[in-house]
A and B are shown apart, each in its own frame.
Chain A
Amino acid sequence: MAKPKVAICWLGGCGGCDEAVVDINEVLLSVAGAVDLVLWPVALDFKYHSIEAMKDGEIALSIINGHIRNSEQEEVAELLRKKSQIVLAFGACACFGGTPGLANLTTKEDIFDWVYKNAPTVINPKGNVPKTHSRINGKDLTLPEFYGQVQALKDVIDVDYYLPGCPPPPHLIIAAISAVIENKLPPKGSTLAPHRSLCDSCTRNKTKPERMAITEIKRIHEVEANPDTCFLAQGILCLGPATRDGCGEACMNINIPCRGCFGPVEGVVDSGAKYISALASILDVQTDADMNRLTDQIKDLAGYLYRFSLPTSILKKKRVKELA
């Protein structure tokens, strides 16, 4: 019997997710022996046209990381969807838009203005900006179109499974790949990680006082955090209560609070909005002035709550008044 074909592809990603695949170490060798890799741009020299030549559904599994911001990324995602039986959104960017999703707090126009005009290091006297189509010396040149906002993979193609994380940890990658090879997958649409929140497995949870009451909010670099005590009890924002478990507490273990790369817990769409409820309940304030003082201590609330998930939050992007 022919080995199942597997494609690994990056769209708008940093390469960290591809690195995470390599981090499964010697398991990768047995995976490589059990499957037939047909695409992995970061590591192997396969071409997209060889994928185009395949029959629909010929690839057993496509592991796609990165967000979608331009037409090239969209085309590659659509091509892989067409040729694959299973599509796995791999990593925070593919699942929720990831850190690049924070670009949805600004507009395409502002990004272009900064990058090609106003940044202090830019020298561009002719005011050149990338165009999707130009004609030079009788030759047509094309570039992908840069879209107005960052999107997660599921907003563009049908996604079968999700594996969050920035990047996903090796034990979950191995579990996901084995589930595909052994055909032991959960129902379509599942996230291949625990359903509960990070606090449920956090070793610091037991240090939490019976009633939490924060009177000051501190940033992690401003204090020397106690490595064994709940961050929230110390007045340091930690997204654990609203974030899915499964990361292996990589950040906690180096005394850094959770920043939410595993996205919302099962059944929740908008982890930022949920976190607001949790955070508000532990703020110990009496007056409006107190409340203002405390909220002023949170720098960039939207950026903090949606560090990895703005494109899949309820509002998706900052609202900009369109000029009439």
Chain B
Amino acid sequence: MSENKPKIVCFSCKFGWGYLTDEATLSKQIENWIPIICTGKIDTTDIMNAFDQGADGVLILGCPEGDCHYQDGNYEAKKRVHLLSRLLESMGVEKGRIRIELGTDPEGKTIPQIIKEMSKDLTKLGSSRTGAIAAKRPAREMIKAKGGK
């Protein structure tokens, strides 16, 4: 993977996305792909952790509105993402770094395409990794480095 290519973590619901294609085949085409059962299961901590571990963006693919296998998991995920992106914005993480799409693609062919589109937008934003790498460094080293004169 080239240095400049943004790292995107993609969560997708197994009920709406790629269930007709073999998971192993799809995961070869999609880096950092996490198929899950219902987007309502994604905890905000999972998204925060992705950013903390160096993701430039997080993409969530849920089922179409009103069409959740568990009644309203996608609706819950959407609200959660909305609130979280507000929080992340005030923490200096740009709005475009987190995206939720509600729809369906049983073969999952469009997933790489959606990621590509998001990649384009993220390239404009630049890396979010500066902060992430800094946060991974030992605390003492960091305060000394940032403290400076």
Interface of A with B (CB < 8 Å)?
71, 105, 108, 131-132, 145-149, 151, 155-156, 268-270, 272-274, 276-277, 279-281, 283, 285, 288, 291, 295, 298, 300-302, 305, 314-316, 318-322
The answer, among A156, A274, A281, A300, for a CB contact under 8 Å with B139, is A156
Q: Which of B2-10, B13-21, B89-97, B106-114 contacts A (4 or more CB under 8 A)?
A: B89-97
Contact A320 B92 (CB under 8 A): yes
CB distance from A324 to the nearest CB of B (A): 9
Kindly identify, within residues 119 to 134 of chain B, every residue whose CB is under 8 Å from any CB belonging to chain A. 126, 128, 130-131
The answer, among B43, B86, B142, for a CB contact under 8 Å with A277, is B43
Q: Report if A132-B87 is in contact (Cβ < 8 Å); known contacts: A281-B76, A281-B79, A315-B52.
A: no
Cα of A145 to Cα of B87 in the assembled complex, Å: 31
Known: A288-B82, A320-B92. 9 other contacts (CB 8 A): A276-B84, A277-B45, A279-B83, A280-B79, A302-B90, A314-B49, A315-B131, A320-B131, A322-B130
Interface of B with A (CB < 8 Å)?
43-45, 47-49, 51-52, 76, 79-80, 82-84, 86-87, 90-93, 126, 128, 130-131, 135, 139-140, 142-149
Q: Report if A315-B90 is in contact (Cβ < 8 Å); known contacts: A132-B149, A145-B147, A291-B79.
A: no
Contact A273 B45 (CB under 8 A): yes
Instruction: Across the interface, name the chain B residue whose C-beta is closest to A322.
Output: B130
Q: Report if A156-B48 is in contact (Cβ < 8 Å); known contacts: A315-B135, A316-B135, A322-B130.
A: no
List, in ascending order, chain A residues with CB within 8 A of B135's CB: 315-316
Cα of A85 to Cα of B117 in the assembled complex, Å: 56
Cα of A283 to Cα of B77 in the assembled complex, Å: 12
Cα of A305 to Cα of B83 in the assembled complex, Å: 12
Contact B139 A151 (CB under 8 A): yes
Contact A314 B48 (CB under 8 A): yes
Contact A315 B147 (CB under 8 A): no
- Consensus secondary structure, chain B interface: helix
The answer, among A151, A273, A319, for a CB contact under 8 Å with B44, is A273
List, in ascending order, chain A residues with CB within 8 A of B82's CB: 280, 288, 291, 295
CB distance from B73 to the nearest CB of A (A): 11
The answer, among A108, A283, A318, A320, for a CB contact under 8 Å with B79, is A283
The answer, among A148, A270, A319, for a CB contact under 8 Å with B48, is A270
Q: Determine which residue in A272, A273, A300 has the highest number of CB atoms from chain B within 10 A of its CB, and name it.
A: A273
The answer, among A71, A149, A273, A314, for a CB contact under 8 Å with B146, is A149
CB distance from B48 to the nearest CB of A (A): 4
Cα of A235 to Cα of B146 in the assembled complex, Å: 40
